Structure 1
Amino acid sequence: MKIAIDSYCFHRYFGEIYPDLEKSPLAKMNLLECVQLCTAFGIEGISIESFMLDSPNQQDIQQLKQLLTQHQLELVWAWGHPSGLYSGQKPDMLQDLYRHIEIAQALGAKVMRICAGGRKTRPQTDWQSHKDALVQLLQQAVLYAEQFDLVLALENHVDFYADEIVDLIQSIDSPYLGICLDTANNLRMLEDPWQAIEKMLPYAKATHIKDVTAYQGDPKNFAFWPSVPAGRGLIPLEKTLKWLAKHDYQGLLAVEIDYLHPDYLQNGTEHQAIQDSIDYLKLLRNIFTTTVRSSINEEDRHYWCRCHG
């Protein structure tokens, strides 16, 4: 497991502002500056939101790849902000997804996070109709990704209940499709967070490690559930990381902060909340990987004793 940042933590610096909830920062940044800033947090990987590299050309891709190589960062390329395939309503978006599969491969990514939709595109129809609109599109995306030996990780993007996204993954049944597990998004859909996470964990190929808390207003609204530093909210991150360590998850643990609780903004920035989250994840990783190794060693010792009397 590698500790990482999802570049969406810095969405405000790219003009992505939640209306009435956030303010624009004093200055903006470009993607190379963002990646350089992320390296200062002591990370081992990064998930990069593709919208932050608008209409990339070959030179842009080469510069980014050089920076990632320089800092030895494992990459997850992230496509689909904010609405991906629009819950199956815009099949023409497949062409853009294909283009980003090629960009991901050029950058050296082994996993690409994708979105089938978002909280604003989830249809009011029954699940079967929603599923039918997506299955064919996702099957085509998977076949294209397979040509590049690239795994697609479908995010639970406040457009799926846990059972629904698992149903999709099982129905397509390909080693080139898994889940980008966002630890908080299903609480925002009023599902029990651990029950939702536990269902999705076996299919995790990437993660957004996000913690949220209850704030004010209506729980059905996004604003009720602001992000907080990892370990300070309602999401069972200890149980999540313990499961991942036990099952030898090899992907990124990517901290993601979207709308940050106002109490955690320091000097108008998210920096301290990000650093606190990374430090917390490193602590948990060290605890659980050591525990797992000790458990395996103990099992080996008992096996040796049985064999050798």
Structure 2
Amino acid sequence: MKVGIDSYCFHRLFGEVYPGQKKPEKELSFEEFLLKADDLNIEGVSLESCFIPRFDKEYLEGIKHHLDLSGMDRVYAWGHPDGLEGGRNERAFEEMIEHIEYADQIGAKVMRVVGSSLQFRFEDHQPQLEKLSRMFAEATRFAEKYGIKLAVENHIDYNSDEILQLVTNVNSSHFGVNFDSGNFLRVLDDPIQAMEKLAPYVFATHIKDLRPVKGVPVNEWYFFSCVPTGEGLIDNARLAQILHQHNYEGFLAVEIDFLHPEYGNQEELVVKRSLEVLWGIADRLTYA
């Protein structure tokens, strides 16, 4: 099983600084990120579209050329921060359709998509899921023309039964799941049980490990904050095992959002420790 990262690990360095985080002395350019990814010796990268500076054909083909030379698998990640806003944002839908072409131009065969976010979590979900099912069905038909699979992420919005409902409603081999292990815990859905339901449909992953933060209210999304893989509450080894049993073809992508206070602004340290653990998990699955 391959191991990689999502570019959101370095959101602070890209200039997206959360309250309480220290602003970096120097921001990271997208080109510098690609070189950093090369230095990590990873096998895959998920590229958040919000950090890609340009979408002209020449620039995107340059990204493809770099990733091809590096031999990296890739996912094109659209939808940060609120995606389709529970199905109410038609302009975002049009943008998502545009980005399918961009995903094709960088050579991605999987595109992460987002239907909603925590901003809409406490609204009635059924009307949202009905609208999103229609939107994703239309988008999937467009993506099929490019041979691209769409993978919806649980973006601190829906539980595994609701994600499964979306997959069932769209009913296409080109529509599945970007499984975010941490975000299921954040909606109080057991990640292992979620994976047992969704593994046959998983096209991409965000591998997080989380621990509670003392003094943060339980209803805050960052009550569960990121720590290195293997140091939190999530049994990511078991999640990888279930994926392996279902012949998962993608990679395990480390993702970091809100770092636990114990790690301050040390995203690079957390990424490297997480990769080491995931490489160990992948090796054990290979030689089991």
Structure 2 length normalisation: TM-score?
0.96
- Structure 2 counterparts to residues 159-198 of structure 1, below 5 A: 159-198=157-196
Does 2:84 match 1:88?
no
SS at match of 2:71: coil
Q: Hey, what's the Cα distance between the residues in 1 that align with 2:143 and 2:122?
A: 26
Offset, 1:187: 1.0
Figure out how many residues of one structure are paired with residues of the other and give that number.
Answer: 287
- Partner residue of 1:295? none
Does 2:287 match 1:290?
yes
- Partner residue of 1:252? 251
SS at match of 2:231: coil
Offset, 1:50: 0.4
Q: Hey, what's the Cα distance between the residues in 2 that align with 1:144 and 1:26?
A: 42
**Structure 1 counterpart of 2:246, one-letter code:** H
Does 2:37 match 1:34?
no
**Structure 2 counterpart of 1:236, one-letter code:** D
Offset, 1:247: 2.1
- Partner residue of 1:307? none
- State whether residues 111 and 206 of structure 1, in contact with CA within 8 Å, keep that contact through their aligned partners in structure 2: yes
- Partner residue of 1:70? 69
- Structure 2 counterparts to residues 256-295 of structure 1, below 5 A: 256-265=255-264, 268-291=265-288
> Residue deviations 1:184-222, cap 9 Å, x none?
101111222322232222211000011111112222211
**Structure 1 counterpart of 2:280, one-letter code:** L
> Residue deviations 1:238-260, cap 9 Å, x none?
11111112222110110001111
- Partner residue of 1:58? 57
Offset, 1:78: 0.3
Q: What stretches of structure 2 of length at least 5 have no aligned partner?
A: none
Q: Hey, what's the Cα distance between the residues in 1 that align with 2:128 and 2:107?
A: 33
Q: What stretches of structure 1 of length at least 5 have no aligned partner?
A: 292-309
- Partner residue of 2:149? 151
Offset, 1:98: 1.2
> Residue deviations 1:49-97, cap 9 Å, x none?
0011134212321221221122111110000011111110102212111
Return 254-263 or 56-65, whichever deviates more.
56-65
Q: Hey, what's the Cα distance between the residues in 1 that align with 2:190 and 2:45?
A: 28
- State whether residues 30 and 53 of structure 2, in contact with CA within 8 Å, keep that contact through their aligned partners in structure 1: no
Offset, 1:123: 5.0
Cα RMSD for the two superposed structures: 1.3
Q: Hey, what's the Cα distance between the residues in 2 that align with 1:80 and 1:138?
A: 13
Q: Hey, what's the Cα distance between the residues in 2 that align with 1:213 and 1:198?
A: 22
Q: Hey, what's the Cα distance between the residues in 1 that align with 2:44 and 2:101?
A: 20
Q: Hey, what's the Cα distance between the residues in 1 that align with 2:193 and 2:244?
A: 18
- State whether residues 142 and 152 of structure 1, in contact with CA within 8 Å, keep that contact through their aligned partners in structure 2: yes
Q: Hey, what's the Cα distance between the residues in 2 that align with 1:76 and 1:39?
A: 16
Q: Hey, what's the Cα distance between the residues in 2 that align with 1:60 and 1:123?
A: 39
Return 184-193 or 147-156, whichever deviates more.
184-193
**Structure 2 counterpart of 1:4, one-letter code:** G
Structure 1 length normalisation: TM-score?
0.89
- State whether residues 87 and 115 of structure 2, in contact with CA within 8 Å, keep that contact through their aligned partners in structure 1: yes
Misfit runs of 4+, over 3 Å: none
Offset, 1:25: 1.3
- Partner residue of 1:107? 106
> Residue deviations 1:95-150, cap 9 Å, x none?
1111110011111111000101111133511x321211211111111111011110
Q: Among the aligned pairs, what percent are the same residue?
A: 37
- Partner residue of 1:8? 8
Return 146-155 or 183-192, whichever deviates more.
183-192
Q: Hey, what's the Cα distance between the residues in 1 that align with 2:141 and 2:176?
A: 14
